[in-house]
Structure 1
Amino acid sequence: MWYHSCWDRHCPQCQTNASRAWCEKQKEQLLPVPYFHLVFTLPHELNDWVNDHADVIYRLLFQSCWKTLHVMGQRKLHGQLGMTAVLHTWGQKLTRHVL
């Protein structure tokens, strides 16, 4: 424990132990199957449209991604895939990058 901690979850001084514990807990929940990281993006030309209709566009993006993976799993891998999806709307410098 650190006195006068900022308690920010990104602070290596304040949250190292909590972060490690969280990671270990997540690992315990993993299934004994291969995992892959995939990235689906939209063309920058759609940024203005996305800003105006974000709820519709992002819903369609997630639906399209899932449908693509689902069909690929059935047709190419003869199995059933699972998916965890996260929407990232910020860049490496924590600035919005869908503008």
Structure 2
Amino acid sequence: RAELLDTQYFHVVFTVPDEIAAIAFQNPATVYDILFRATAETLRTIAADPQHLGAQIGFFAVLHTWGQNLSHHPHLHSVVPGGGLSPDGSRWIE
């Protein structure tokens, strides 16, 4: 716990439509790479927007390829901090 930032954290899930999930079943490396990149770009873009947070954030994401009923359902679980570094890196913004 001593290594965690003193801020709130949010659990955000990114999933794909069934049509893309079917493609992921045949081309997992390509689709999962796109999913991770799109997730990262989305989180960073929203966090950097001054109308939202206006900061640079870090986060982590874990790929799950199954749903609750153990069917093929690729999605990412991400943990996102409620704060980040100012654009110049000089201060913490919440």
Separation (CA, whole Å) in 2 of partners of 1:41 and 1:72:
18
Aligned CA RMSD, in angstroms, stands at 1.8
CA distance, structure 2, for counterparts of residue 47 and residue 71 of structure 1? 25
Count of paired positions: 72
Quote how far apart the aligned CAs of 1:28 are. 3.5
C-alpha distance in 1 between matches for 2:4 and 2:38 = 25
Secondary structure, aligned partner of 2:12? coil
Does residue 1:34 correspond to 2:34, yes or no? Answer: no
Q: TM-score, normalised by structure 1?
A: 0.64
Question: Within 5 A, what are the aligned runs for 1:57-72?
Answer: 57-72=31-46
Structure 1: distance between partners of 2:11 and 2:20:
24
Q: Which has the higher strand share?
A: 2
Percent of residue pairs identical = 38
The corresponding residue for 1:87 is: 63
TM-score (norm 2): 0.67
Secondary structure of the 1:59 match is helix
Unpaired runs of at least 5, structure 1: 1-26
Structure number with the higher helix fraction is 1
Counterpart contact for 1:51–1:98, Cα < 8 Å:
no
Give the match for residue 73 of structure 2.
Answer: 98
Give the corresponding residue for 1:22.
none
